[in-house]
Amino acid sequence: MNLDIRMAGLGGQGVVTAAHILGTAVVNSGKHASVNPFFGAEKRLAPAESYVRISQEPIYDRGEVLFPNFIMIYAPEVITMGKSYTMPFYSGLKKNGLVLINSDKEILSDKEMDGLKSIEANIYYVPATKLAIDFAGTAMAANMTMLGALCGLVELVDLDAVMDAVEERFSGKTKMVASGTTAVLDEALKSKYEKVSQMIEKNRQAIVNAFQYVKKEM
């Protein structure tokens, strides 16, 4: 299994954190993963991307994922306002690839749909922000619900491994070299809860419910 994932969103949405959590879950499951963030000036609402490579064999290729199997769109503005480093946003997507969009309504133009149909892409919409608010109490957990939805759509990594990786990430059991903005966002997320343990549990619940939502609706 060799899979490449491109996560595209806006600064402040946690695409870097989501990639780190997914990569941790993959490695803890006995496979190999590399994780690379890509962004310009660190500021909220600026384009931000993260790339995750997954393989049964050691990975030596680092940097931007040009030909992803999966594309995760964390904010509609990536598409509707062109807030993406890759235009069109699905550029390089492999045939029969998957596009997962955080939106509660269809936002693709006819031209974009034609482009995606030409490569027989599978397109899924999930209200990740709404699910994050409903089950974690904050829109900042949409990166978690996106991970849950992805795991519900494809057999990528066991859901329990993802939830364990969430605990590792926020409990401090594993060290991550975070950028200044990522560290600030971590603290902002923690401030939404009385205890770190509560934050971890709420995020785990959000992942599970997004997973179940996709299994039921898709």
Q: What is the pLDDT at residue 46?
A: 84
pTM: 0.90
CATH number of 21's domain: 3.40.920.10
* 41 has pLDDT over 60: no
Percent of the chain with pLDDT over 70: 88
Q: What is the pLDDT at residue 180?
A: 46
Least confident among 27-36, 40-49, 73-82: 40-49
| Total number of domains constituting the chain | 1
Domain that holds residue 66: 2-217
Confidence of residue 43 (pLDDT cuts 50, 70, 90): low
Q: What is the pLDDT at residue 62?
A: 82
* 191 has pLDDT over 70: no
- Residue type (1 letter), 25: A
Q: What is the pLDDT at residue 75?
A: 96
Confidence of residue 61 (pLDDT cuts 50, 70, 90): confident
pLDDT tens, residue by residue, 110-159 = 999 999 999 999 999 999 999 999 999 999 999 999 999 999 999 999 99
Contact predicate 58/32, CB 8 Å = yes
